[in-house]
Amino acid sequence: MPNFNFSKVYDSPVKDVFGWHKNILALERITPSWDNIVFENRSTQTNNFLQDGKLTLIQEILPFIKLKWVIKHSKYIENELFYDEMLKGPFKSWKHKHVFEELNSASTLIKDEISFSSWINIKKLNEFIVNKVKKSFDYRSMILEHDLKNKIDNNNENYVLMTGATGAIGQSLMSYLNSIGYKIIFLKYSKSSVNAPVIEEYVNDSDDILTIKWNPYHKNTLKLPKSISKKIKFLINLAGENILGLWTESKKKKISSSRIQSTRSLYNLAVKSNLNFDCCIHSSAIGFYGSNPGIDIDEGHPTGKGFLALTTNLWEKEQDKFRDLTKRNIHLRIGNVLSYKGGIIGSIKTPFKLGLPGYVGNGENYLNWISLEDILRIIGFSFCNKTIDGPVNAVSPNPIKSKYFFSTVARKFGWNFTLKIPAILPKLFLKELVEELVLVDQSVKPKKLMHAKYEFFNTDLNKALDNILGS
């Protein structure tokens, strides 16, 4: 039976290292995006998922080809050991033993031991599987090391109030905040909700993540129970319609109203619930600046022209109302987020995989990118760094011309060419969208983050794509 072994020493007490793995969303947090896994269902008979938890996940290995895994935890010994075993899935068998060894009061060794059996026992196939697992564990150890170093002291059990947790950023952010010690109240959009404060546990017998159904378009304003409202110290506002898609008048109205109305409703909720925050972070966008070829743009630059600039400006004005309720109010102006499942990579990966990599126009316009992992860390960093306030550009310090961006992505998918698509073709049907999203020319700088000495996870596009695609 083939085996894989991995070990790593972490500069943290065994109680903290083992405790991190007990977080509800630890597996979501630690799983690399290129494994292309969706966590479908989990259950436990106790309040300790590592002890007897059962998990169902779906893994997409090729377009339209998905594999189902059912995994069960067992053989639990606090601060020492736990197992997970595949009950159903793509292998004949798969067992993973997690061993935690206290080296001293501030140092812990983790040993991962995996044994598996394929339905077809071929040496080359087994070697391929081991190499894939090794790559995943290199990434996992990097994430765990960061989270342990940045774990917060949340003895007061304070909560983060969060909207938009089902989006590409929100899902990953929820697992990140959970892993570094925050408790979360997720306002989950429900069209049928009349905004009654019905609290549900995200996982049975755990108050680490609570969900409350919320309809920002309903005439009633949701009021949170005092028992939890007094513990809410942070706000993450990510609600808003996806800007990708055909920009019909109806779509543009949804893009605008979803942002402004949800923010207005959230503010009314905060006032009615007597919330007082230490920090509020609202998603915004570098679309605020419009197209500005030939110059570097920092947070002091005025708003530009166009639909996105107008919408973002109105959105931030609505967010400014929170100034009365918080010590710091941050507009996170986000660039093109690099994520396997969404954003610019999620939009282009299928044609690029199929051998149709390309870019629109002459490719001389600058594209401002940021890795999803950096977005998560910037939010955690901003919660703790009291110098960060107002508009903040969430972009890599290294913008890149679009032709180089797309040719770099193409190489990651195995192609040494890119197709140059004349801009006139897509502009015949999608003129406004193409001009504001595809051909926009901006060189945006994260001045405030750099001044605050934030350490970027990814500043090099090649490494960022490797961490997303597993290339």
Please classify residue 376 by burial: count the beta carbons closer than 10 Å to its beta carbon, then call 0-12 exposed, 13-18 middle and 19+ buried.
buried
**pLDDT (tens digit per residue) in 261-298:** 999 999 999 999 999 999 999 999 999 999 999 999 99
**pLDDT (tens digit per residue) in 231-264:** 999 999 998 888 887 888 999 999 999 999 999 9
CA distances from 249 to 169, 246, 252, 286, 318 (A): 26, 9, 5, 22, 22
**pLDDT (tens digit per residue) in 392-434:** 999 999 999 999 999 999 999 999 999 999 998 888 888 888 8
**pLDDT (tens digit per residue) in 191-204:** 888 988 788 876 65
Mean pLDDT of 53-81: 93
CATH 3.30.530.20 fits 3-149, yes or no: yes
If you ran DSSP here, which 8-state letter would residue 435 be given?
I
State the DSSP string of 101-154: EEEETTEEEEEEEEEEE-SS--HHHHHHHHHHHHHHHHHHHHHHHHHHHT----
CA distances from 382 to 56, 177, 230, 281, 375 (A): 34, 12, 21, 8, 10
d(CA 408, CA 413): 9
- What does the buried/exposed string (b/e) look like for 340-357 if buried means 16 or more CB atoms within 10 Å of the residue's CB? bbbbbbbebbeebeeeeb
Is residue 30's pLDDT more than 90? yes
The domain covering 159-469 belongs, at the CATH homologous superfamily level, to NAD(P)-binding Rossmann-like Domain (3.40.50.720)
Helices (H) and strands (E) in the chain, counts: 14, 23
Task: Residue 180: name the closest of 40, 12, 56 by CA.
Answer: 12
Question: To 10 degrees, what angle do helices 461-469 and 402-412 make?
Answer: 40
Domain map (residue ranges) of the chain: 3-149, 159-469
d(CA 458, CA 202): 31
